[in-house]
Amino acid sequence: MSFSDRWKALRNWGYTGYLFNRYYAGCSGVPSPEYVPENFYKWHVLPALNPKSVSRHVGEKAMLDELFPGHSPTFLTRHGGVWRSGGESTDDARARSILCGHLGSPVVVKKSDSARGNDIHFFSAGDEQRIFDAIDCREDLCIQHAIVQHPLMSAYHSASVNTVRLLTFSFRGDIRLLGSFARFGVGGANVDNLHAGGIMVKLDGCGRSTGDGYDLELRAHAAHPDSGRSFRSLEVHCWQQLQDTAMELHRHVAEVGIIGWDFAIGADRNWLLECNTEHPSLFVVQFQSPPVFSDLLPDMYEAVTGKRFVI
């Protein structure tokens, strides 16, 4: 970074933010004072743009099917002890009847507030007793159809439902895609989260891999450690549809500033698995990339700090 850029980074972000800028610039080869530091993102951007009064409701897994009907594999939820299906409340007997009607195929039971791949349980067809035992001890949960994923995604690691995360930004009537990445499970795990050992692969603006995959420790992987399949050959075949869907869904909840959308690519359609509003990952999107907020950065900075961004 030039002396001028270092001064701008220090002026706008402080010393810790300046160090983040140097790190991002070193990873991407693009020296710039316009990377948004992780500490600034956590303490300024998210509280201002994703206020908990609205973002928590939008981000609850139990709300996916009601907020975005037809996009989620969820068919039954329980929140605060109240069962709901198809947008309507129901009693215990009816809920069990609905569940029994779906037990001819595998299902997934999740806590509504599960994160990092925790509290997600997969059940085979006909495994009624284990499913009922699982739901009886949880007040807040959602139950989904198990997804049969597209062969291009399962070829990397078939044991997990591998997903594509798109990060979108809503600001003053404008909605943009900030970045995206794919995630793959490893070692037979049935989830793909980085905290569960998974690997992420950055995607470019056309849904193609930008290079190697990386684990939580940012160790590079040229190929999947189990299947040996090269990450550099990854291309999301339905990329434009995923991008259009994420942008359209964000328009329905534009009061939330930044959302991480997790999609599973099914054999015949795409499914929305999660809408992350609590701390949608900006670090992964900025890692090895140019700054992502571009022309909206000065106005966004002023909106969340009340100060002018030094250009």
Domain boundaries, the chain: 3-61+151-305, 74-145
* pLDDT tens-place string over residues 158-215: 999 999 999 999 999 999 999 999 999 999 998 998 988 999 999 999 999 999 999 9
Name the CATH topology of 74-145: Dna Ligase; domain 1 (3.30.1490)
Separation CA 103–CA 113 (nearest Å): 24
Whole-prediction pTM value? 0.93
**pLDDT confidence tier of residue 74, bands split at 50, 70 and 90:** very high
Across the chain, which distance is largest between two alpha carbons, in Å?
69
* pLDDT tens-place string over residues 253-263: 999 999 999 99
Question: Residue 113: its pLDDT value, please?
Answer: 67
Separation CA 38–CA 29 (nearest Å): 19
Which of 58-67, 85-94, 100-109, 296-305 ranks highest by mean pLDDT? 296-305
162, 148 contact by CB (below 8 A): no
Same fold, 3-61+151-305 and 74-145: no
Question: Residue 292: its pLDDT value, please?
Answer: 93
12-16, 84-88, 268-272: lowest mean pLDDT where? 84-88
Separation CA 24–CA 291 (nearest Å): 9
Separation CA 230–CA 213 (nearest Å): 9
Question: Residue 210: its pLDDT value, please?
Answer: 95
Question: Residue 83: its pLDDT value, please?
Answer: 92
**Percentage of the chain modeled with pLDDT above 70:** 98
Q: What CATH number labels 3-61+151-305? A: 3.30.470.20
Please name every residue paired with 262 in a beta bridge, in sequence order, or none if there are none: 165, 274
Question: Residue 116: its pLDDT value, please?
Answer: 61
34, 298 contact by CB (below 8 A): no
169, 254 contact by CB (below 8 A): no
* pLDDT tens-place string over residues 91-140: 989 998 988 888 888 899 888 766 666 678 888 877 778 888 878 777 78
260, 285 contact by CB (below 8 A): no
Question: Residue 311: its pLDDT value, please?
Answer: 85
* pLDDT tens-place string over residues 216-255: 999 999 999 999 999 999 999 999 999 999 999 999 999 9
End-to-end C-alpha distance for the chain, whole angstroms? 15
